[in-house]
């Protein structure tokens, strides 16, 4: 049933050419990890520290949940299950790890769904957030890289994590001293998931020519990424709360001057430092360390730098 649905979309996609393909590639792009993390970082540094913290915490938790579900289910991508499925080449390059559930759909549920469930936003904006979630999820079907169940479960799991995060943030408002316990519990879960991904046995299937269809060890890379991002955010979050205490209640000029250097350094880390670390430290350790640094930079390093520089400038 799911493959038939993808083949139906594929026939339509081939029939109309790139008319809708370009649009859905852009929708899919809005659910990519780097795009989602960049938007959340900008919100955290320049718009609302409280809202940004909520989004980053929920997203990092959803990445751990996604990684666990992927290696637990070990569902092959649609084109591996049925060679008649020919995904879009551009989308194919971003399709890493096992298929179930969709990481893009969970990213969309974290960023846009995280806003949709916040009652302080008006109904029009919340409806727009829900539409974004649907478009991102459907784009993964239209481009042929995920089945319907991949995106449906991805959205539901992502929304569930964000609902839990919303309750956690409200609880922390009345129990701010419990942040270290929250950090330790989150890190413990991330470590357990990473260890599970490292030690479990993965399915070993071969094609007619005797070639391995899917390398389970490589597929587990997404799980290690999620664990690294989660731990990096949690450590940075607690250090920022306990040591820095920066604020987004600043002038518009200050917010704008924060954004450009923050994003430039973010991309320098993602595009230069991360590949160097992965090359120098192969395997799961390199993935964990590099992803830890990405979110640790967002939650602690750059807030520390901007607080220091803004204090110096004010003197």
pLDDT digits (tens, 9 = 90+) for 103-147: 999 999 999 999 999 988 999 999 999 999 999 999 999 999 999
Q: Mean of the pLDDT values across residues 46-72?
A: 96
Q: Count of domains in the chain?
A: 1
Structural domain that includes position 6: 2-314
What is this structure's pTM?
Answer: 0.92
CA dihedral 192, 197, 203, 207 (to 10 degrees): 160
Task: Answer positive or negative: Cα dihedral of 62, 63, 68, 70.
Answer: positive
CA atoms within 13 A on the CB side of 307: 16
**CA–CA distance, 296 with 275 (Å, rounded to integer):** 17
CA dihedral 108, 110, 113, 115 (to 10 degrees): -120
Q: Mean of the pLDDT values across residues 76-101?
A: 86
**CA–CA distance, 266 with 271 (Å, rounded to integer):** 9
**Range of lowest pLDDT (83-87, 205-209, 216-220, 264-268):** 205-209
Residue with tokens 């519990």: 185
How high is the pLDDT of residue 107? 96
Q: Contact, 99 vs 78, CB < 8 A?
A: yes
Beta-bridge mates of residue 212: 206
- SS3 label, residue 212: strand
Beta-bridge mates of residue 206: 212
**CA–CA distance, 63 with 222 (Å, rounded to integer):** 9
How high is the pLDDT of residue 314? 66
Q: Mean of the pLDDT values across residues 19-31?
A: 91
Q: What percent of the chain has pLDDT over 70?
A: 99
Cα 50 to the chain's mean position, in Å?
Answer: 19
How high is the pLDDT of residue 67? 95
Kindly state the tokens that stand for 163.
Answer: 């609902």
Distances (CA, A) of 128 to 53, 133, 315: 22, 9, 43
How high is the pLDDT of residue 315? 60
């Amino acid at each position: 049933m799911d493959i038939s649905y993808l083949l139906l979309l594929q026939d339509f996609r081939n029939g109309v050419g790139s008319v809708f393909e370009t649009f859905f590639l852009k929708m899919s792009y809005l659910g990519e990890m780097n795009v989602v993390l960049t938007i959340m970082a900008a919100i955290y540094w320049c718009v609302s520290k409280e809202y940004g913290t909520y989004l980053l915490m929920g997203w990092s938790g959803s990445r751990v949940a996604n990684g666990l579900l992927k290696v637990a289910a070990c569902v092959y991508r649609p084109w591996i299950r049925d060679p008649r499925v020919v995904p879009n080449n551009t989308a194919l390059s971003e399709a890493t790890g096992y298929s179930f559930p969709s990481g893009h759909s969970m990213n969309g549920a974290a960023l846009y769904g995280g806003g949709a469930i916040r009652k302080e936003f008006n109904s029009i904006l919340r409806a727009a957030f829900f539409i974004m979630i649907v478009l991102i999820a459907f784009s993964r079907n239209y481009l042929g890289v995920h089945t319907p169940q991949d995106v449906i479960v991805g959205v539901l799991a992502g929304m569930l994590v964000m609902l839990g995060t919303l309750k956690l943030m409200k609880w922390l408002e009345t129990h701010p001293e419990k942040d270290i316990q929250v950090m330790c519990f989150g890190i413990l879960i991330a470590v357990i998931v990473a260890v599970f991904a490292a030690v479990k046995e993965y399915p070993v299937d071969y094609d007619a020519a005797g070639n391995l269809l899917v390398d389970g060890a490589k597929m587990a890379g997404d799980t290690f990424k999620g664990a690294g991002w989660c731990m990096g955010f949690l450590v940075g979050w607690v250090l920022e709360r306990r040591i820095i205490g920066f604020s987004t209640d600043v002038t518009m000029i200050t917010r704008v001057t924060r954004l450009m250097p923050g994003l430039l350094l973010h991309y320098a880390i993602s595009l230069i430092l991360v590949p160097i670390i992965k090359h120098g430290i192969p395997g799961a350790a390199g993935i964990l360390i590099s992803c830890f640094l990405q979110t640790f930079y967002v939650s602690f390093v750059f807030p520390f730098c901007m607080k220091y520089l803004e204090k110096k400038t004010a003197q």
